[in-house]
């Protein structure tokens, strides 16, 4: 779950923030929006300074204009641009966050399994968009495994994506401090996590049967084309839309709907809403929506 410079969250680097002129802030605000879709308001200015201050010091620059010139004139491969994107984003997530969403997912998976029986297709395709450090897609994988039981007879694939390349490497490793899994029910902790020993004491790793269901990949939601060709049973995109402007929110909601199978689920964050953008979706729980069959969607106007 990706967040961008969240309001009210203390930043450990804020004390080291450099000063930025109005003109420089406007340049970086446009650049960030062009690259990520994130809309930075004036309240994010001190945090932008703090986060990018590290990159300025890395290159020995004393002004944001020098760093902007580096990004736009001396970074042909886009490597520093990617580091800039990584720097301005913050990752906040946890296992089974907003547990009611996983209750709905569990019921959906069980219903899908019941329909498949012994003859129907045994496939599940899901996407964790803005997966951060991986707790969300692994929670999805554990939910599927725990619901299906003999999941090896199913073809289950979970795409987990984020714009931050550094956090994706952390997520793919599947290793977490023990306190990060304290809220996970004891039965699930025992079944799906391995406790580290020796040098790894104090850490746990997600078991292979859950890790092998998840593929991590960098995807920028602002890109015109996403590497997804298969209709999806569920999309988790939580605490992401609130950092985009209304036009991009509308665009993403439409694209998510197009990717979902009829009956597929879309999960948003607790403070996000699809008010005015819910044509083709029905509300099935707090910030949880199901795609309507085509005939029902055609007969139901958007709220």
Q: What is the pLDDT of residues 220-277, one digit of tens each?
A: 999 999 999 999 999 999 989 888 988 899 999 999 999 999 999 999 988 887 766 6
Tell whether 129 is covered by a domain.
yes
Tell whether 83 is covered by a domain.
yes
- What are 75's two structure tokens? 């970074």
Residue 61: closest CA among 53, 50, 49: 53
CATH of the domain at 65: 1.10.155.10
Same structural domain, 78 and 112:
no
Q: What is the pLDDT of residues 162-181, one digit of tens each?
A: 999 999 999 999 999 999 99
Tell whether 200 is covered by a domain.
no
Domain boundary among 44, 60, 90: 90
Instruction: State the virtual CA torsion across 232, 267, 90, 93 in degrees, nearest 10.
Output: -100
Domain boundary among 62, 90, 118: 90
Same structural domain, 106 and 57:
no
Can you tell me the mean pLDDT for 206-214? Answer: 96
Residue 281: closest CA among 235, 243, 248: 235
pLDDT at 92: 79
pLDDT at 176: 96
pLDDT at 151: 62
Can you tell me the mean pLDDT for 273-300? Answer: 78
Residue whose token pair is 């069959």:
293
Active-site residue list: 51, 162
- Asked whether the predicted pLDDT for residue 12 surpasses 60, the reply is no
- Asked whether the predicted pLDDT for residue 8 surpasses 50, the reply is no
Instruction: State the virtual CA torsion across 200, 201, 206, 209 in degrees, nearest 10.
Output: 80
| Residue 124 dihedral angles phi and psi, to the nearest 5° | -140, 130
Antiparallel, parallel or unpaired: β 288-291 and 193-195: unpaired
pLDDT at 68: 96
pLDDT at 149: 81
Tell whether 155 is covered by a domain.
yes
Q: What is the pLDDT of residues 37-48, one digit of tens each?
A: 898 989 889 989
pTM for the full predicted model: 0.85
Residue 289: closest CA among 255, 249, 257, 259: 257
Tell whether 85 is covered by a domain.
yes
CATH of the domain at 235: 3.40.50.150
Query: What residues are paired with 7 via a beta bridge?
Result: none
Tell whether 192 is covered by a domain.
no
Tell me the three-class secondary structure of the chain, residue by residue.
Answer: CEEECCCCCCCCCHHHCCCCCHHHHHHHHHHHHHHHCECCCHHHHHHHHHHHHHHHHHHCCCCHHHHHHHHHHCCCCCHHHHHHHHHHEEECCCCCCCHHHHHHHHHHHHHHHHHHCCCCCCEEEEEEECCCCCHHHHHHHHHHHHHHCCHHHCEEEEEEEECCHHHHHHHHHCEEEHHHHCCCCHHHHHHHEEECCHHHCCEEEECHHHHCCEEEEECCCCCCCCCCCCCEEEEEECCCHHHECHHHHHHHHHHHHHHEEEEEEEEECCCCCCCCCCCCEEEEECCEEEECCHHHHHCCCCC
- Asked whether the predicted pLDDT for residue 15 surpasses 50, the reply is no
Same structural domain, 164 and 250:
yes
Q: Are 66 and 58 in contact (CB under 8 A)?
A: no
pLDDT at 299: 52
Percent share of the chain, pLDDT over 90 = 68
- Asked whether the predicted pLDDT for residue 288 surpasses 90, the reply is yes
Q: By residue range, what is the domain housing residue 216?
A: 99-175+206-298
**Mean of the per-residue pLDDT values of the chain:** 87
Domain boundary among 90, 110, 125: 90
- Asked whether the predicted pLDDT for residue 84 surpasses 50, the reply is yes
Residue 88: closest CA among 146, 29, 160, 21: 29
Same structural domain, 136 and 248:
yes
Number of compact structural domains in the chain: 2
Same structural domain, 170 and 252:
yes
């Amino acid at each position: 779950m990706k967040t961008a410079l969240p309001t009210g969250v203390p930043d450990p680097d804020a004390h080291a923030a450099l000063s930025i002129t109005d003109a420089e802030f406007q340049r970086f605000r446009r650049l960030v929006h062009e690259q990520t879709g994130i809309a930075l308001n004036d309240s994010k200015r001190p945090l932008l300074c703090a986060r990018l201050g590290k990159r300025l010091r890395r290159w020995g620059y004393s002004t944001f204009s020098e760093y902007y010139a580096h990004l736009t004139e001396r970074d042909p491969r886009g490597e520093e641009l990617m580091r800039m994107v990584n720097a301005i984003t913050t990752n906040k997530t946890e296992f089974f966050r907003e547990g009611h969403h996983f209750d709905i997912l569990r019921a959906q998976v069980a219903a899908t399994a019941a329909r498949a029986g012994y003859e129907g297709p045994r496939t599940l395709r899901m996407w964790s968009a803005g997966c951060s450090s991986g707790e969300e897609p692994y929670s999805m994988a554990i939910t599927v495994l725990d619901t299906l039981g003999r999941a090896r007879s199913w073809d289950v694939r979970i795409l987990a994506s984020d714009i931050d390349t550094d956090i994706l490497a952390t997520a793919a490793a599947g290793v977490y401090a023990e306190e990060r899994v304290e809220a996970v029910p004891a039965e699930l902790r025992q079944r799906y996590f391995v406790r580290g020993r020796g040098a790894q004491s104090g850490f746990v790793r997600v078991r292979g049967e859950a890790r092998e269901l998840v593929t991590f990949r960098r995807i920028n939601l602002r890109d015109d084309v996403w590497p997804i060709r298969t209709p999806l049973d569920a999309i988790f995109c939580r605490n992401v839309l609130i950092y985009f402007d209304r036009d991009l929110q509308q665009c993403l909601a439409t694209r998510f709907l197009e990717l979902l199978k009829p009956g597929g689920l879309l999960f948003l964050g607790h403070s996000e809403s699809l008010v005015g953008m819910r044509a083709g979706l029905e509300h099935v729980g707090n910030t949880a929506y199901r795609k309507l069959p085509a005939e029902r969607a055609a007969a139901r106007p958007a709220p």
